[in-house]
Chains A and B, each alone.
Chain A
């Protein structure tokens, strides 16, 4: 009996439960009725080429939807004690070339970036208000890091970019980055980039069709 539950009943229930959409659709309709926008949270790392692809790609795909593109940078993430961590970092470069090709960009790096190197950018973005200026900064910074430069990350060019987008100097908030990391874990994702919308999360670099379908189903359609 236990065998039957573990091998058949439990997986079937998980799959069946994942198809229940009514509560999320009601909540989305209530948000719209009260004049509020939808929200897509993107958990991403500046050190990760797949995240760069997701930021650039989603910024374009979400245009025309009444949605807040909630960019949530993280530094520490991943499966605890993952024995394949180093191999995954190396493979991310190979994979990043393919993702770049999909949007007509060529990866400019051949080596991974340590998460700690890009932590200053995460702290700036986590401290800033959501909105068009922040999306512009993240999109441009991801392009600069992964498709236009190589070598160590220096703060100066990104400070200049920040000034162009916000008209002021950046301030960092590492506690806000830690809060993003905790929220990401609570939402379920264990890797970046991950998009979370109304109770569901998606591999953000590979599920743009699913994300669009889910947004349409929730009523956050392109106007």
Chain B
């Protein structure tokens, strides 16, 4: 019997997605689940606006949370646009290559903690190589329409399930929005008898 599925909707432009990364992927270590990374196009590239007050507060709040979690944050390069789409394309390639966890964590830290520009060839290549991916494969993914269609499908599915932001985890039809709900998801997975011994 296959392990129950947990979908993990994630945006490289969301600092809360970045905060969720280490604990989100660790769920697959703690529980017998099939954790599926689902990279989505940023809200602002989907025509949704974010008020200034929210943008400012997000930066301040994430800094405090990142400090609490021991994650670097503050040397930022906002990846809105090309940086986000290129990173999303490589994340799909990384799924196929079996290194999605390494790539997502490396890319997100590079964006939010090391001011690396993934829209540049130099920046993205450095991220890919640090995540153990071959640059030739990553480069090919950037122009692969099938890969772009997968990202589009992930984004469409997030809209269809009625969610407005990321990160979102979906288990057995139940949604868990935000990095603050990973512990609640873990309780539900535990209640479902999925904890690894």
Contact = CB atoms under 8 A, between A and B. Distances in A.
A98 B65 CA distance: 20
Q: How large is the interface on A (under 10, 10 to 19, 20 to 34, 35 or more residues)?
A: 20 to 34
Interface string A61-103: 0000000000000000001100110011001001100100100
A11 B53 contact: no
Contacts of A158: none
A36 interface: no
A188 B61 contact: no
B68 A210 contact: yes
B78 A14 contact: no
A198 to B, nearest CB: 14
Contacts of A210: 64-65, 68
Contact of B177 (A11, A95, A207): A95
Contacts of B78: 6-8, 11
Nearest to A14: B59
A94 B80 CA distance: 31
Contacts of A137: none
Interface string B12-26: 000000000000000
Contacts of B57: 188-190, 201
Given A18-B59, A18-B63, A19-B63, A188 B53 contact: yes
A22 interface: no
B76 A87 contact: no
Contact of B51 (A95, A101, A190): A190
Contacts of A202: 61
A209 B65 CA distance: 10
A12 interface: yes
Contacts of A8: 76-78, 115
A95 B60 CA distance: 24
Interface in A4-47: 6-8, 11-12, 14-16, 18-19
B3 interface: no
Interface of A: 6-8, 11-12, 14-16, 18-19, 79-80, 83-84, 87-88, 91, 94-95, 98, 101, 188-190, 200-203, 206-207, 209-210, 213
Given A12-B75, A18-B63, A98-B181, 8 more contacts: A7-B117, A8-B115, A12-B115, A188-B56, A188-B57, A189-B53, A190-B54, A210-B64
Interface of B: 48, 51, 53-54, 56-57, 59-61, 63-65, 68, 73-78, 80, 115, 117, 162-164, 174-175, 177-178, 180-181, 184, 187
